């Protein structure tokens, strides 16, 4: 490498800007000590009282939120405490939850409730909760709360549903059955 090449190499990798901190003392790599500014210096509202007996200075600075002697509850000096001349007429901010914006459904008339109960008790397999909810425009929980089946009927329907599910499970592959069994076993230890 020639002299010109070394010089251009050195100029290429030299810093041409000031560092963030002043250079540390030679042989050390520590930052200079932090000196916080005194909050009482140049404070116009601070009251300075020298104490002669103890050679001390007493500095009192009132808190920034102290009330003005001219501020009353009937006529506050802060514009934040003054009453608004008119109520807010502009658009309101949106609800935090989208579900709060939904209109509550109206209460079902007594005739509708009686019809739901009659149909549900007459044939629970034909008139399931989902079908009745779809027919009358309500939720399945509403149907189950106003037209609950008796325990033996409910158990019979659950038994029929489990038989249908078992028929579907028999068609599963060995891998899917194993994965489901592992998942059920893991759920036991939760």
Give the whole-angstrom CA distance, residue 50 versus residue 57.
4
CA distances in angstroms from 70 to 67, 77, 79, listed in the order given: 8, 7, 14
Query: Do residue 155 and residue 189 come from a single domain?
Result: yes
pTM higher than 0.85: no
Give the whole-angstrom CA distance, residue 129 versus residue 138.
10
DSSP SS3 for 48: strand
User: What pLDDT was estimated at residue 28?
Assistant: 67
Tokens of 127: 């008139």
Give the whole-angstrom CA distance, residue 173 versus residue 180.
11
- Considering the domain boundaries, does residue 182 fall inside one? yes
- Could you list the residue range(s) of the whole structural domain that residue 185 is in? 151-190
Give the whole-angstrom CA distance, residue 88 versus residue 84.
9
Query: Do residue 159 and residue 141 come from a single domain?
Result: no
pLDDT tens-digit map of 23-58: 666 666 666 677 887 777 677 778 888 888 777 888
Q: Which residues of the chain have pLDDT under 70?
A: 1-32, 41, 65-69, 71, 73, 77, 84
- Considering the domain boundaries, does residue 56 fall inside one? no
User: What pLDDT was estimated at residue 9?
Assistant: 60
Which residue in the block uniquely carries the two structure tokens 């000031």?
18
Give the whole-angstrom CA distance, residue 183 versus residue 181.
5
Instruction: Classify the phi-psi angles of 93: left when phi > 0, otherwise alpha if psi is within -120 to 50, otherwise beta.
Output: beta
- Considering the domain boundaries, does residue 161 fall inside one? yes
Dihedral, CA atoms, 153, 156, 162, 167, nearest 10 degrees? -130
Query: Do residue 122 and residue 134 come from a single domain?
Result: yes
- Considering the domain boundaries, does residue 65 fall inside one? no
- Considering the domain boundaries, does residue 41 fall inside one? no
- Domains in the chain: how many in total? 2
- Considering the domain boundaries, does residue 23 fall inside one? no
- Considering the domain boundaries, does residue 55 fall inside one? no
Query: Do residue 139 and residue 174 come from a single domain?
Result: no
- Considering the domain boundaries, does residue 131 fall inside one? yes
Give the whole-angstrom CA distance, residue 110 versus residue 129.
18
Query: What is the full DSSP assignment across 73-102?
Result: SSS-SSTTTSPPSS---SPPPPPSSGGGGS
Query: Do residue 156 and residue 142 come from a single domain?
Result: no
User: What pLDDT was estimated at residue 37?
Assistant: 76
Backbone angles phi, psi at 127, to 5 degrees: -105, 80
Query: Do residue 155 and residue 144 come from a single domain?
Result: no
Contact 24, 30 (CB under 8 A): yes
User: What pLDDT was estimated at residue 54?
Assistant: 76
């Amino acid at each position: 490498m020639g002299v010109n090449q070394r010089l251009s190499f050195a100029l290429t990798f030299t810093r041409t800007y000031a560092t963030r901190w002043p250079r540390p003392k030679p042989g050390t790599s520590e930052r200079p000590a932090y000196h916080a500014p005194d909050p009482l210096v140049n404070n116009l509202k601070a009251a300075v009282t020298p104490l002669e007996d103890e050679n001390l200075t007493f500095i009192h600075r009132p808190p920034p939120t102290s009330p003005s002697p001219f501020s009353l509850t009937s006529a506050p000096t802060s514009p934040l405490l003054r009453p608004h001349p008119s109520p807010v007429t502009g658009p309101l901010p949106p609800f935090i939850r989208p579900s709060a914006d939904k209109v509550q459904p109206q209460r079902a008339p007594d005739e509708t409730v009686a019809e739901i109960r009659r149909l549900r008790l007459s044939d629970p397999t034909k008139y399931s909760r989902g079908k009745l909810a779809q027919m009358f425009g309500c939720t399945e929980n509403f149907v189950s709360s106003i037209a609950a089946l008796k325990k033996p009927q409910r158990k019979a329907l659950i038994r029929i549903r489990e038989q249908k599910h078992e028929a579907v499970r028999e068609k599963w592959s060995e891998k899917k059955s194993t994965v489901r069994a592992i998942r059920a076993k893991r759920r036991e230890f939760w």
